[in-house]
Structure 1
């Protein structure tokens, strides 16, 4: 806090142009940041719109593929029922045993005068050749409880395994939900494939009796969807899912939820704002056909943010550059005016020092030039007035001044130190000026007759003392001072802490090393106030520490004036004489490591 006050006092309090630069730079910084934020938000909305449109186009490509696939399925089923020979062949297969079916086919083949008809299996194989995404076709027989599986390479007959109720439940589910994923251990005809499969089921009826006699199940390989998207939408924006009416995922471009029920199905209805899925996302939904199949396009917020990284970096760099350029231009302009003002101030100081012949020469026609002109006119009039009226009076005052100078008082010393400090500042020796200022403040405090001061004043004295020491050993001492706010106005004996600090600078400071550190903490506790001084100095040997503790325990005896610890003992004795034996000093130290001194005093207000 004291550093902030010193910075304000040295650079802002009496620096009008520094205040203007600081204010202008702050305003420009806010304006540039607001402008960059607005540009970023505009670009963000544009990117969101573009990403969502691109994702929607990908979803439309996939929707077209699935819609075409669904139309081909319906067209194929209509062709089966429309072809009497194929339909009769399939119905006979579903209503009879496989042996009877073979005899039926043989009779059809050997019957004279009858043209050979195609079997239903050949019809489906033809369909598979036209549809690259079909993996296999299975036809289930309700009456005979078996099914045949037709793949591109072979055809096999499989009888049902398991309970009748399992199959009936499975058929009911497939009638309700035609589209579904295929489990790895399902009862389909294709087993052991590594690809993700999904299927479409359709119940088969006898066209004459309308009796339900079986079920058609067509399995598709989702890899064909990926190949389709790769050929027609090679740049995948976001994520695309294909879901059934019950929420089962039959295609996932990220291959994460395939075969599972999508956990955020209910949230997908909100397609306007950000939807909370795995992460906030924008959603596009396209429905396909009447079987509840839908394509869901998802663009996550992280993907959008990733695409904005470059713009974000560019805006940040541009904003920083604009702020720096604005600050540089403002500083340059303000320095020009500041030099004019400093020239006026220096001339006024010369007038104050008695040089009435000083005149200000400024170029231009601004307000500062007008001030300088009025100043020169004033000096001309003052010089003329002094020459006429006060020459004799000044001589008389000079005699009185010589008499007053014989009365040496502390006030003369204060003014002398202040003049030396101002001279040091004018010569550029700011460190010397700071040391003289700190010494002047300390001297004013020391000569005051009060014996009781506030903790704030006592710690400020210690801070000034350490500041002098820091300037003397530039870069070799670090100081850390902290004081609780509720103890600042508490009272303390004058010069109670300063001897502890001085004891460190004399005996503990390592002048040849750069890592010297001392900390001063003033904290409130249940018993009163603790003042803790810690350093990393030379420390105290065990024998010497025992000797000091012994002397502190016998503080009522007069200390040896040659003892180096007389300051500690004096402070300890003053505390106990003033506040009581329960208060005083405790010391902890290790040779070569550092020392910790704790001063315990009661929490009293000034004047108690």
Structure 2
């Protein structure tokens, strides 16, 4: 018992491993399996439907053919019944009724008395009366399938039977039905009995008996005999077999008579069989067509084998086509996966080549565009970081000297105070304070600190130029806490001191203002200096609208450098703009985000 359990556990584990290896992580194997199952089930269902459809059609066709045979046999019986009626009508139709008189004379007398009566009549009238026996022999020779024709006398209890070979006269003392069973009716015969009535007395003196050979039934369906399946029976209402194409039930009652009235089309006879029954003929016989189900199934073997072969070929072809199609998609998908793996490992140069324009082509195209965009983004960020580092390095290099000079300046200031040169001492104090602020490594600073730094810078020049220079700062207190880029306003002021200040004037002035426009802090530095010529102004604007070269970034911490640093820190939507009128002054506008809280642009 333990061995069986162990083998079962091993088999289950192998199945689980097979599933996990070939299906759980293999999408295309799942698709192939599902599609194969759908194909097999669909084609098998279609084949069953086609086979059922053609099988039902074949059964209907066979039953219709069998029903046609039964109708032909019924027509044959009606024809034979009509022939019997025609013969009896000929006995009655003669105007002088000589044939009827001869028949009545034959039925009322012994055969010798009948002959004497014919001679007497002939001698009395000189007219030879029509002979009923000759008439019957003519009918016997006219209808080839009449086996026996005869007369029965109900008064004298005798029978005259004529066959194609001889004439038999029977004197019996039995009833009519016993005579028929004994001398006329056989298992393979069809018998009609007609009354012969005396038109004067209206009494029935006898009967005309016509017995047809049942072999004539074959002629009714000989054209369909070779193609007909099953067998045909002709039965009396009591079950006696009149005709049996299989020659199995002659001489006995049909054993399945009670099942012929059942409504089902399939009955259990010797074996399950399809049944047709007709009872509309003049004789009242039951004409039965029996087709065994096995014969019907045997006729469908060829169709079944053909459908199996065609279905198998189509399934194989469909699965082969599906397999190669999925293999192609799998190969192309693996190409995409390998490219993604290379990208994950840092190879940004990988590209996917797809020929067919389908979903995988779109994925490959999006992947290629993503790699290109990523490369450009990395390049941009990398270059931007390098430029920022370069700008910081240049600023740091510029800040190193004040750092080393700070102690020296402090010593000079103390020396100037000792000689009571207070203005020189104040300038040295302001300069040392400026150097101390610039030494700090902060990138972002509150606007208040930046304005204080600019005020000290402007005070330094105000002391230097005495009454020729002044400045004004107009900024609301609630804006002072906003954070700005460190050392971003001072380079603009320095540009004015170096290039815009006119020494021959006593009203040199610079204004620093700041306002909040929606979510943007707008800082304006305006002066009344010499201004900028249109050509140089256009050149400056072009430089501001293009990326600063590495050389320019390393050589200047002025206007261009400040603009580039703002874009690097806060994004391309921010920076500097310049307006100037020669002889009237210049206005520089700085825009930085107010809601970013001093966070650098990512």
Separation (CA, whole Å) in 2 of partners of 1:88 and 1:245: 36
* CA apart distance, 1:68: 1.4
Matched residue, 2:153? 141
Q: How does 1:528-567 map to 2 (within 5 A)?
A: none
Instruction: Tell whether 2:347 aligns with 1:339.
Output: no
Secondary structure of the residue aligned to 2:222 is helix
Instruction: Tell whether 2:315 aligns with 1:323.
Output: yes
Separation (CA, whole Å) in 1 of partners of 2:374 and 2:311: 49
Secondary structure of the residue aligned to 2:206 is strand
Instruction: Tell whether 2:224 aligns with 1:224.
Output: no
What TM-score does the superposition give when structure 2 sets the normalisation length? 0.52
* CA apart distance, 1:151: 0.6
Matched residue, 1:26? 37
Q: How does 1:183-582 map to 2 (within 5 A)?
A: 187-188=182-183, 196-230=188-222, 235-236=227-228, 239-269=231-261, 273-277=265-269, 278-283=271-276, 285=278, 287-289=280-282, 291-343=283-335, 359=350, 361-364=352-355, 366-367=359-360, 369=364, 373=368
Secondary structure of the residue aligned to 1:156 is strand
1:190–1:331: structure 2 CA closer, same or farther, 3 Å change rule?
Answer: closer
Name which of 144, 157, 160 aligns with 2:169: 157
* CA apart distance, 1:47: 2.6
Matched residue, 1:76? 87
* CA apart distance, 1:116: 1.8
Name which of 99, 103, 106 aligns with 1:90: 103
* CA apart distance, 1:333: 1.1
Larger radius of gyration: 2
Q: How does 1:574-593 map to 2 (within 5 A)?
A: none
Matched residue, 1:119? 131
Judge conservation of contact 2:348–2:371 (CA < 8 Å) in 1: no
Separation (CA, whole Å) in 2 of partners of 1:67 and 1:267: 26
Secondary structure of the residue aligned to 1:118 is coil
1:98-156 Cα offsets, whole Å, 9 max, x none, are 333343344445x2642222322211111111211111123333333332221112111
Separation (CA, whole Å) in 2 of partners of 1:283 and 1:229: 15
* CA apart distance, 1:268: 3.7
Separation (CA, whole Å) in 2 of partners of 1:122 and 1:19: 93
Separation (CA, whole Å) in 2 of partners of 1:11 and 1:98: 105
Secondary structure of the residue aligned to 2:221 is helix
Note the residue ranges of structure 2 that are not aligned, 5 or more in a row. Answer: 1-10, 383-602
Separation (CA, whole Å) in 2 of partners of 1:230 and 1:203: 33
Judge conservation of contact 1:271–1:282 (CA < 8 Å) in 2: no
1:343–1:234: structure 2 CA closer, same or farther, 3 Å change rule?
Answer: closer
Instruction: Tell whether 2:170 aligns with 1:170.
Output: no
Secondary structure of the residue aligned to 1:288 is coil
Secondary structure of the residue aligned to 2:62 is helix
Separation (CA, whole Å) in 2 of partners of 1:112 and 1:217: 32
1:129–1:228: structure 2 CA closer, same or farther, 3 Å change rule?
Answer: farther
1:287–1:138: structure 2 CA closer, same or farther, 3 Å change rule?
Answer: same
1:280-306 Cα offsets, whole Å, 9 max, x none, are 3152525112x4234344455444433
* CA apart distance, 1:238: 5.3
* CA apart distance, 1:69: 1.0
Q: Number of matched residues?
A: 363
Matched residue, 1:131? 143
RMSD over aligned Cα, in angstroms?
A: 4.0
Name which of 42, 48, 59 aligns with 1:37: 48
What TM-score does the superposition give when structure 1 sets the normalisation length? 0.51
Separation (CA, whole Å) in 1 of partners of 2:256 and 2:304: 31
Separation (CA, whole Å) in 2 of partners of 1:240 and 1:149: 30
Judge conservation of contact 1:61–1:233 (CA < 8 Å) in 2: no
Judge conservation of contact 2:136–2:150 (CA < 8 Å) in 1: no
Secondary structure of the residue aligned to 1:187 is helix
* CA apart distance, 1:321: 1.6
Secondary structure of the residue aligned to 1:287 is coil
